[in-house]
Structure 1
């Protein structure tokens, strides 16, 4: 027997022994591990961690929350070329093996023998599914055997398409992206169906090492990996030579995209997030909940713009305050220095429409500036510097600058914004210090249509609509006047607008309240007093009404009466309320006397689209009687189209409680309309709405400016002020800051809403009166006016106002000086 034959027999024998040994080891492993294998059937009902998503009422994405960004996708929605890219990168024998690729395992074994450690797992896509769904990431022989056995079971239980779908939705692809659809959004800002071949190959290269091949963090290594996959696709016949060449020439276009939202509504999204966290705990971020809010996307965008424009308008008229900081510009301005300074500007970052810029040079009528991205441009006199005034104090500004050097110096770090009127021109600007808030409700239901808690969430996440408790000032007066109308006063009641002095320990010894303009008009009708916002009249009305009675009365508007002051300053809105508190109270005026509760979550759906919560608001029904619980079925659909749903499980709306009688609601609505037509809210006449009503509010300082009003079934409150309670300026009022924001918003909000007037109740009549006395007018009196009265207290021929000019029936002495 030759040596060759002997060695061949030895080799064959050893091979048989090795195979037998391997078979014994494999069998032993199977007997040991198989009883512990999880049920593959669980994969059929697997629940992937999916983030919380928040949408507007019209289906626009407002927010997304969750540690893992994932958008599960059906295998039928995945482009075939994308699947080919993953097969080329991970498992080109996927459609021919039964869960385990023997050649891959042998290759991994040889690497183990030659290197002494596990270099690669030889894993198929099916084995990766087994690992990702059932196993840990540790590299041990026990886990590897378990992975193999599970893969075989998975192949028996599921189709190849099902396995691929599980794999493509589960894999981690870096930057918090789990699954291919999320990766497409994270790296390219678009869905996978819009990716080109090079981008698909880039994503397909990520599962092996998401950090090492991250195209944002390591573009050069990612490109090498991408090109290798393209080469594999060519060699496997997945693409042709032309496709290969085109894709190889593609630059690295990936960058870190945040969640692409359709509408900027961060304050709304945060309110919903907190609510969901309270309801479901941490699972709110992982269980794929979808929240549909009551917010109208168009109105939300309108509110955003109205508030930003409002604070910019205030900020501009109070002057330019100077640069945010000063940098030293090197004498030798090399490209490297330019790049370094541009990088620093990028780190500062833009806030909303305000971009940081560095002043490089200043000419007489222009300035050269550098922006992030090494963009160098010019601030031109006509487009951003002319007529600019400088801030001296909240009450004083300089004359308009005549040269650019009066405003800017080399090295100034400033803010610029793109011109609204002249495209591609930058304008000198600054981050406003003043803040603002806007909240708008559907008056009949309380559904929040839009909400802005500050002019920029990035600048400040503090929600001033729900968290900022500020003095409402005269914005609170309508509630006191309503109490008066329900307790004997009429719109024609005569009250003296004259100076008064109170010695009251609760108010700090001697208190001398005054009107905003410092003037006094003498005796005047209650209607006049409200639309002219006369402080002294309001105090006298409250004094006659009684503080305890007034506080008990305003409780029906939803205010926390435990926080209201038990003194006469209540008439001037000296207490603190949030804009949400105020707008909820005004909704009672807007809907004809019903108490509603504001809400923002319309419904919540689970990952399968099942509704797990639906709002059940109480609805104002002016057509319903006190006991007519079925009449709501007959309300016009237009009133309830956002509340009643067409499906079989729709809730039948509940009736809101009437808290104002029809006659009182009609009277106060009539007076609040006069605030617009002839009072402190006259600017709102530009809307040309005869049903518009509301009230301004300005506090001492002034530190707070308000306007709350309604029209067409929409009620909106706006507020402006400094978070630090600084003075706004002695010429600033609710009518100069808050009202313009309200007008800009309501102009758009009311486009599709017809005028809506309260029906005149049967017990309300219109009577001609003497405007000076409030008594019945004499026949032929030339200056007579019409006024509304309830039939039981309308003036008659023998009617005379009480001799006491401070209110009906009042006998309390008041010091006059």
Structure 2
């Protein structure tokens, strides 16, 4: 027999490297800017690693008491227990009783199968012996408590403590520790979320064993027996903002291949409280649309919202749809929708930088552009109400969202001049036609939030970013800072901000107003009411809101930026102000901005001299042909 064992030992490959070089897949955790957990993300196994120093001594005692009382005395194998079990196995002619030490259990979990065969058991014994020659008892305990399954999808004792009790290991009571160490024997049977009484009974047996061994006194025993811990039935991921996490994973996976299994701690720029505000507001706006239109298809209608700090680019909330459970498609980052009239401020900004001022006048008259319409016909753009205003100041034209005046301005400034400047504002693939004045191109809310930061940023564009800090499992970390570039002088940007304040105070965006805050913004409604936007900002907060049908079919004619999206903007900003009452309430006026009779101007955008066209009378039925 000894000869057989010696021969078997010499031929067997004793590979204990998975145990010695233990590198389990670990859960990555995402936190918001205030340190609140947003989600656990993992690949197959939800496991958070606990070093031996993190594991309470009492927990180790409870484990040893119930699983392997002689753990600190043996060399990986309990000879007495093996002989005792062997006699029972021989009598039954099968493996009916185990005698596994904690070391053997670790071997079985990491390098062997669970089949009940004598050869497998022999391998387990020999491998356990080898492990004990290389690793300390503390290292073995650490690996065991991080590897074993504790039921409910929890791997490792740290994960189980947080999942079942929402506590760190250091805060566990003796009863809670006993519940945990009693689980690996039969995780499903003793799962406290489903079998509470059985779990308590098993825990009480552990506590009784500790008393019998003299490791706790009578008072400690009785206190633990009487305790009835609260157990939480949490989901594994605890994902509180799935659209947010999807985008973060998309960004991180490009540079961190093991993002789901590397045990990273990711801090986002987002604020979970603001995220919830934005989610609720977007859903409220969606419900209002359904109330106005009983025939609307609630499975096609959707929306998106992005809340950010326009001065830094930090994304505070990102909502890609009204219900993630119904659709995980992230409309905030993946969709490309026409911005409509919300794009007009960029055309006006180019004009201001070319020497126009808010008081300059443009023609708001009927016009036709030969060969630019469908089928080579003339394109005849119209104002929303079908009327004309004659000559109108730039400020009034933007405030009232006059389509014809904006197109006239584009022609006056020069299409090529405007088109070339848009690239500097961050716009890409803008089509080479005059309809861009009305926002006839596609852009995602995320990209649009970057471009819009130009206004609140007083000429600076802040690139939106979501990842603030990354800490790897080894403790190394990376920090991400704002990416800001200057595009236009602050004084020029402020002229547009002032014009956009008028949009909210007197024009199409009145429903976006927020008491106690200066708000600037612009409505956007595309042809046939396919898209409804409101893009606005206070001195320190920017919010982009969009609604539309996923299949690009029209909404009802009443749905537009002013009625549909502006109230949602207002709701988000009002709730934000309650959270952060000290947020800056008024825009600072940059140096170089001058005023004459309430009209703002700068050295680049001087007040207009009286020009002939200011006094020309244009009859309503007259127009311009190009």
Q: Tell me the TM-score normalized by structure 1.
A: 0.68
SS in 1 for 2:534: strand
Q: Identify the residue that residue 601 of structure 2 maps to in structure 1.
A: 788
SS in 2 for 1:437: strand
SS in 2 for 1:738: helix
Structure 2 counterpart of 1:100, from 77, 89, 105: 77
Question: Post-superposition shift, 1:78?
Answer: 4.0
Q: Identify the residue that residue 683 of structure 1 maps to in structure 2.
A: 511
SS in 1 for 2:70: coil
Structure 1 counterpart of 2:427, from 559, 563, 575: 559
Does the CA contact (< 8 Å) of 1:713 and 1:756 recur in 2? no
Q: Identify the residue that residue 668 of structure 1 maps to in structure 2.
A: 496
Asked if 1:603 is matched to 2:577, the reply is no
Asked if 1:203 is matched to 2:69, the reply is no
Once residues 605 and 351 of structure 2 are traced to their aligned partners in structure 1, the CA distance between those partners, rounded to angstroms, is 15
Asked if 1:299 is matched to 2:274, the reply is yes
Structure 2 vs 1, CA of residues 50 and 802 (structure 1 numbering), >3 Å: closer, same or farther? same
Of structures 1 and 2, the one with the larger relative CO (CA 8 A, separation 6+) is: 2
SS in 2 for 1:279: coil
Structure 2 vs 1, CA of residues 603 and 231 (structure 1 numbering), >3 Å: closer, same or farther? closer
Does the CA contact (< 8 Å) of 1:51 and 1:64 recur in 2? yes
Once residues 310 and 110 of structure 1 are traced to their aligned partners in structure 2, the CA distance between those partners, rounded to angstroms, is 73
Structure 2 vs 1, CA of residues 443 and 806 (structure 1 numbering), >3 Å: closer, same or farther? farther
Structure 1 counterpart of 2:483, from 589, 610, 618: 618
Cα deviation digits, residues 92-112 of structure 1 (max 9, x gap): 222333321112211332243
Asked if 1:800 is matched to 2:611, the reply is yes
Once residues 542 and 104 of structure 1 are traced to their aligned partners in structure 2, the CA distance between those partners, rounded to angstroms, is 90
Asked if 1:518 is matched to 2:410, the reply is no
Question: Post-superposition shift, 1:206?
Answer: 3.0
Q: Identify the residue that residue 64 of structure 2 maps to in structure 1.
A: 87
Does the CA contact (< 8 Å) of 1:495 and 1:806 recur in 2? no
Asked if 1:287 is matched to 2:155, the reply is no
Once residues 527 and 714 of structure 1 are traced to their aligned partners in structure 2, the CA distance between those partners, rounded to angstroms, is 23
SS in 2 for 1:664: helix
Q: Identify the residue that residue 73 of structure 1 maps to in structure 2.
A: 50
Asked if 1:718 is matched to 2:584, the reply is no
Structure 2 vs 1, CA of residues 218 and 786 (structure 1 numbering), >3 Å: closer, same or farther? closer
Structure 2 vs 1, CA of residues 152 and 498 (structure 1 numbering), >3 Å: closer, same or farther? same
Structure 2 vs 1, CA of residues 95 and 806 (structure 1 numbering), >3 Å: closer, same or farther? farther
Question: Post-superposition shift, 1:302?
Answer: 2.8
Does the CA contact (< 8 Å) of 2:14 and 2:127 recur in 1? no
Q: Identify the residue that residue 596 of structure 2 maps to in structure 1.
A: 767
Once residues 745 and 212 of structure 1 are traced to their aligned partners in structure 2, the CA distance between those partners, rounded to angstroms, is 47
Does the CA contact (< 8 Å) of 1:198 and 1:247 recur in 2? yes
* RMSD of aligned alpha carbons: 3.6
Structure 2 vs 1, CA of residues 468 and 140 (structure 1 numbering), >3 Å: closer, same or farther? same
Structure 1 counterpart of 2:458, from 587, 592, 596: 592
Does the CA contact (< 8 Å) of 1:696 and 1:706 recur in 2? yes
Cα deviation digits, residues 240-265 of structure 1 (max 9, x gap): 7888788778889767421474x832
Question: Post-superposition shift, 1:786?
Answer: 2.9
Asked if 1:308 is matched to 2:283, the reply is yes
Cα deviation digits, residues 607-643 of structure 1 (max 9, x gap): 02211x4325433xxxxxxxxxxxxxxxxxxxxxxxx
Once residues 805 and 204 of structure 1 are traced to their aligned partners in structure 2, the CA distance between those partners, rounded to angstroms, is 90
Does the CA contact (< 8 Å) of 2:353 and 2:605 recur in 1? no
Asked if 1:48 is matched to 2:21, the reply is no
Structure 1 counterpart of 2:244, from 246, 257, 268: 268
Q: Identify the residue that residue 35 of structure 2 maps to in structure 1.
A: 59
Does the CA contact (< 8 Å) of 2:321 and 2:329 recur in 1? yes
Once residues 530 and 83 of structure 2 are traced to their aligned partners in structure 1, the CA distance between those partners, rounded to angstroms, is 78
Structure 1 counterpart of 2:408, from 515, 520, 540: 540
SS in 2 for 1:686: coil
Cα deviation digits, residues 667-692 of structure 1 (max 9, x gap): 222212222232222334433334x3
Question: Post-superposition shift, 1:269?
Answer: 0.7
Question: Post-superposition shift, 1:171?
Answer: 0.7
Question: Post-superposition shift, 1:524?
Answer: 1.0
Structure 2 vs 1, CA of residues 142 and 312 (structure 1 numbering), >3 Å: closer, same or farther? same
Structure 2 vs 1, CA of residues 259 and 805 (structure 1 numbering), >3 Å: closer, same or farther? farther
Does the CA contact (< 8 Å) of 2:182 and 2:206 recur in 1? yes
SS in 2 for 1:696: strand
Structure 2 counterpart of 1:318, from 292, 314, 317: 292
Question: Post-superposition shift, 1:50?
Answer: 0.9
SS in 2 for 1:717: strand
Q: Identify the residue that residue 437 of structure 2 maps to in structure 1.
A: 571
Does the CA contact (< 8 Å) of 1:101 and 1:122 recur in 2? yes
Question: Post-superposition shift, 1:476?
Answer: 0.7
Q: Identify the residue that residue 94 of structure 2 maps to in structure 1.
A: 117
Q: Identify the residue that residue 814 of structure 1 maps to in structure 2.
A: 624
Gaps of 5+ in 2: none
Structure 2 vs 1, CA of residues 567 and 112 (structure 1 numbering), >3 Å: closer, same or farther? same
Once residues 14 and 54 of structure 2 are traced to their aligned partners in structure 1, the CA distance between those partners, rounded to angstroms, is 35
Structure 2 counterpart of 1:742, from 553, 569, 573: 569
SS in 1 for 2:64: helix
Once residues 122 and 52 of structure 2 are traced to their aligned partners in structure 1, the CA distance between those partners, rounded to angstroms, is 28
Once residues 791 and 65 of structure 1 are traced to their aligned partners in structure 2, the CA distance between those partners, rounded to angstroms, is 52
Once residues 594 and 197 of structure 2 are traced to their aligned partners in structure 1, the CA distance between those partners, rounded to angstroms, is 83
Once residues 114 and 271 of structure 2 are traced to their aligned partners in structure 1, the CA distance between those partners, rounded to angstroms, is 46
Number of positions where the alignment pairs a residue of Structure 1 with one of Structure 2: 618
Question: Post-superposition shift, 1:526?
Answer: 1.2
Gaps of 5+ in 1: 1-20, 320-390, 395-429, 620-655, 769-784
Question: Post-superposition shift, 1:213?
Answer: 4.7
Larger deviation, residues 743-752 vs 667-676: 743-752
SS in 2 for 1:164: helix
Once residues 287 and 675 of structure 1 are traced to their aligned partners in structure 2, the CA distance between those partners, rounded to angstroms, is 49
SS in 2 for 1:280: coil
Once residues 616 and 500 of structure 2 are traced to their aligned partners in structure 1, the CA distance between those partners, rounded to angstroms, is 23
Task: Please say which structure displays the higher CA radius of gyration.
Answer: 1
